[in-house]
Structure 1
Amino acid sequence: MVHWSNRVKLLTSSGTSLIHAVAVTALLSFHQLSQASSCSFLRLSSIYSITDQNSPSPPSRIEARDLRVDSQNGVDPAVARPTTPSPSFSSVVRRVMVGTSMQKYVCPALEPVLRRVVREEVVRRLTHHLGQLPRSPQLQTPSLQLIFTSPLSLPIYTRGKIKDKDDNPLQIQLVRRQCGPSSIISLEPPPRVEIVVLDGDFPFNNDDNWTPKEFSSHVLRERKGKRPLLVGECRVTPREGTASIQKLEFTDNSSWIRSRTFRLGARVSPGSYEGVRIKEAITERFTVLDHRGESNKKHFPPSLHDSVWRLKNIARNGKFDTKLAFAGITTVQDFLKLSVVNQQRLREILGHGMSERMWNETITHARTSNIGDEVYLYHGEFDTVVFNPICQVWGIMVNGLTYALEQLTPQHALDVQTLIQKAYQKWEQLEEIDGASLVRATEAQPSGSIMTPDELLGIEASSPSTAPMEMGL
């Protein structure tokens, strides 16, 4: 007999619907059980004829034909085909009675079992098929959700405090998800919130419609023999919908998992809340580095006085750092000054090892520096050039008048370019003044006013407003 589960699989694989397949299988199985005795009796009746034992039973047409064939081949039919003794009448009756008893007593006992098995199979298969149907976000998206209020400050090192991008403690909020801006929700009593570490590959395909079970299945634990992966305030209680995490640290880097990245997650601690589902919060994916490399970490943003290897793609004592140091470029300010005055020369120093993508990343990172308010004056024989700290030109003073570079005649502009080159080469000899008052004065004065070098040093005067001009020779 074919097992009922195999029959269901066979029917469903051939295109029959699941409900129809299970129903047909159940009917066939029950029919086979209920008709067992009848089939046995019919099978016995077709083989054996219950007749008077004194009257010989004539051979059937098949047996007579076989005897003729054996006689023609010279084989003794009695020897070639030994006959099996026919069962007695009493044994046949016993078999029929056993079948009748099975139909009367065993089949009713098996019926509840069969119904239960069929019901379990139907539920299991329906659950499997319904689980493959696309979920409706409108029906399944929870109205309440935990969120991290700000992105993390990167990079993150082991044993280092985890903070947000503004260098503030992490904050978690409980909000109500709406079509417009989310609103902070305060629950009484407030639920406990647990901070966990997630695999950086979760959620797959950036699908944020995960289930609590899917979220929990991607929570990471520490490696064998290691301390807990996350230490500090791993459980907090939101007050008026907001909770701050003052101290949170990683004890291990992220290099040991396939994605090599982590995410932080926040979920309601089991048993601390009963109500509608509160969706979990996750951060962006990030890499956790060993604290032994923190002394070589990049600064975001860098300062002008930082070593040049604090910039992206320039490793400490690496090939780019060595090439720049050989050319006298040791700080971020040196790097930016040369990028303004002669960018092509800077690219030549770095060489072909720095691709266009790497160059764009490095120069963009460098330009996030706060250059401050200082200005520098370089006095030529007839002109005075005003620079900001990275050698961008603020203005040109000619015979007591201040001009932008594009306001000069072509010949005069070439002469000023020479002054700019000399100022770059003699940067340490330039006169430095506080540029805050200069900026305020230039913004307040109408264009075309006169400003002398002495007035730049603090004497009350007027000046046109000129923006820094980037030079590229």
Structure 2
Amino acid sequence: MSQKREFEEAKGGASEDKRRRFKSVVQEVMRLQTVKHFLEPVLEPLIRKVVKEEVELALGKHLAGIKWICEKETHPLESRNLQLKFLNNLSLPVFTSARIEGDEGQAIRLGLIDSSTGQIVSSSPASSAKLEIFVVEGDFDSDSDWTTEDIRNNIVREREGKKPLLNGNVFAVLNDGIGVMDEISFTDNSSWTRSRKFRLGVRMVDQFDFVKIREAITESFVVRDHRGELYKKHHPPSLFDEVWRLEKIGKDGAFHKRLNCSNINTVKDFLTHFHLNTSKLRQVLGTGMSSKMWEITLDHARSCVLDSSVHVYQAPGFQKKTAVVFNVVAQVLGLLVDFQYIPAEKLSEIEKALILSLSLYIFDLVSLLYSIYSQVYINFLIVSDFRLKPR
């Protein structure tokens, strides 16, 4: 009996163990199903989002690398050294409160230059950058291998209690590698600095990766107070400038007074007398004007721009079909013979002699050029933009 009981108890214990294991398996399956049911809608979007962000980040880095390579190939100048450069010279002298100009009254032009080729950079991102104009000490060694720090240490600031040294628009913008410095002037002279001179400098405001841009520096120059502008020589002079505007002729000086006494008041008067009777003009100026001074004055006077007026002069006693052709300052251009124009350089010896014989009459034009043509025996015509056809 005891053995049978023991067997049944052992059999019942085994069955109990199976039931517990089955129950455990069923509970595990139900737990997993529950986790999957509830967490899958939450985890899947999170996982997808993280994967998407990582892929986009990696792809962005890859595309950025490709873009940099393409830009480097498209704009190879970006990897080179560039420099700013003044494309024209300053018009001297410079006065306070007066617009700083370039040669022949033009605006100061700046260029972005490729140091290796000397060509203007027109397609680089730097070719449309913003520039800043500043003042540098006149004794700064612009020929040395200077650095940006060297320039920074030599920038000139305004004196205490004074206005900023530069007035106007101290910023410019490049357009296809070229900029214009316009409407800018000095508010103070340069006499108080250690060198008594200034230089103008230009530097980039914008910065660019992989690009080094060297600043531009002008030659040194003196800045005078605007009171001196009253005595400034004009380059080039105007025909109607007072004669003391010419080089070597000082306002109210000896030469100026001598010329006024001879009714030579303007640059036009000076040139007219020069072409009609050079020796007499030299006598008016006197021995105080040396040959070197004379050449300087004459070169300055000749640099003025003449208008297009053409004058035809016929003296009494000569054939009606023969006349001398000259410009507004009585410089002989040629002869008009039988309505055919002969340029001065093609005149024969006989024709040159004819002009020489007419010179005594032509000298009378000094007064006629500025008055009504009232002399009885002179036929004097002014023809604007008259086109002469050589024979």
* TM-score, normalising length: structure 2: 0.66
Contact 2:120–2:177, Cα closer than 8 Å, also in 1: no
> 2:276 aligns to what?
341
Residue 161 of structure 2 corresponds to 225
Secondary structure at 1:295 match in 2: helix
Equivalent residue, structure 2, for 1:63? none
Deviation at 1:397, TM superposition (A): 4.1
Identity of aligned residues (%): 37
Question: Any idea what the Cα deviations from partners look like across 1:237-265, whole Å, max 9, x if unmatched?
Answer: 54554443343120011233354332211
Question: Residues 157 and 253 of structure 1 are in contact (CA less than 8 Å); yes or no, is this contact kept in structure 2?
Answer: yes
Q: Does 1:384 align with 2:323?
A: yes
Which residue number in structure 2 is paired with residue 467 of structure 1? none
1:336 alignment partner, SS class:
helix
Query: 222-231 or 404-413, which moves further after superposition?
Result: 404-413
The aligned residue for residue 213 of structure 2 is: 278
Distance change in 2, residues 1:185/1:248 (3 Å): farther
Q: Does 1:395 align with 2:355?
A: no
CA deviation after TM superposition for structure 1 residue 191, in Å = 5.5
In the alignment, is the contact (CA less than 8 A) between 1:175 and 1:184 conserved in 2? no
* Structure 2 counterpart of 1:200, one-letter code: G
Matches within 5 A, 1:171-320: 171-184=109-122, 186-187=124-125, 192-203=130-141, 207=143, 209-238=145-174, 240-269=176-205, 272=207, 275-320=210-255
**Distance across 1 between alignment mates of 2:110 and 2:118:** 19
Q: Distance in 2 between matches of 1:328 and 1:151?
A: 37
Structure 1 position 145, deviation (Å): 0.5
Give the conservation status (yes or no) of the 8 Å contact 1:311–1:362.
yes
Q: How does 1:411-422 map to 2 (within 5 A)?
A: 412-422=354-364
Contact 2:104–2:235, Cα closer than 8 Å, also in 1? no
Partner of 2:387, secondary structure, is helix
- Conserved in 1, the CA contact under 8 Å of 2:127 and 2:174? no
Residue identity matched to 1:299: H
Shift of 1:148: 2.2
Change (3 A) 1:232 1:330: same
How much has 1:266 moved relative to structure 2?
0.8
Q: Deviations over 1:3-47 (max 9, x none)?
A: xxxxxxxxxxxxxxxxxxxxxxxxxxxxxxxxxxxxxxxxxxxxx
The 8 Å contact of residues 234 and 248 in structure 1, kept in 2 or not, is answered as: yes
- Residues 165 and 188 in structure 2, CA contact (< 8 A), matched pair in contact too: yes
2:96, 2:288 → 1: CA distance? Answer: 31
**Contact 1:313–1:358 (CA<8 Å) still a contact in 2?**
yes
CA distance in 2, matches of 1:197, 1:244: 17
In the alignment, which of 126, 143, 163 is matched to residue 101 of structure 2? Answer: 163
Aligned length: 298
Judged with a 3 Å threshold, the aligned counterparts in structure 2 of structure 1 residues 225 and 347 are, in CA distance, closer, same or farther, namely farther
The CA deviation string for residues 207-255 of structure 1, in whole angstroms up to 9 with x for no partner, is: 2532223323332222333222112222345455444334312001123
Correspondent of 2:296 among 342, 357, 361: 361
Secondary structure of the corresponding residue to residue 309 of structure 1? helix
Contact 2:276–2:359 (8 Å) recurs in 1: no
3-state SS, counterpart of residue 231 of structure 1:
strand
Gap change, CA 1:173 and 1:328, over 3 Å in 2:
same
Work out the CA distance in 2 between the residues paired with 1:345 and 1:230. Answer: 48
Q: What are the Cα deviations for residues 387-444 of structure 1, in whole angstroms up to 9, with x where unaligned?
A: 21111112334576655664242764542233333444644437242242333xx15x
Alignment-derived partner of residue 434 in structure 1: 383
Distance 2:262 2:127 in 1: 65
Deviation track 1:112-158 (CA, whole Å, cap 9, x = no partner) reads xxxxxxxxxxxxxxxxxxxxxxxxxxxxxx72101223323333221
TM-score, L = length of structure 1: 0.56
Compared with structure 1, are the counterparts of its residues 146 and 385 closer, same or farther at alpha carbon in structure 2 (3 Å cutoff)? same
Structure 1 SS opposite 2:363: helix
Q: How does 1:48-87 map to 2 (within 5 A)?
A: none
Aligned to 1:87: none
SS at match of 2:103: coil
Residue 183 of structure 1 aligns to a residue whose secondary structure is: coil
Deviates more, 1:352-361 or 1:280-289: 352-361
Counterparts of 1:355 and 1:201, CA distance in 2? 34
1:407 aligns with 2:348: yes
Give 3-state SS (helix, strand or coil) of 1:437's partner. Answer: coil
The one-letter amino acid of 2:124's match is: S
The aligned counterpart of 1:459 is none
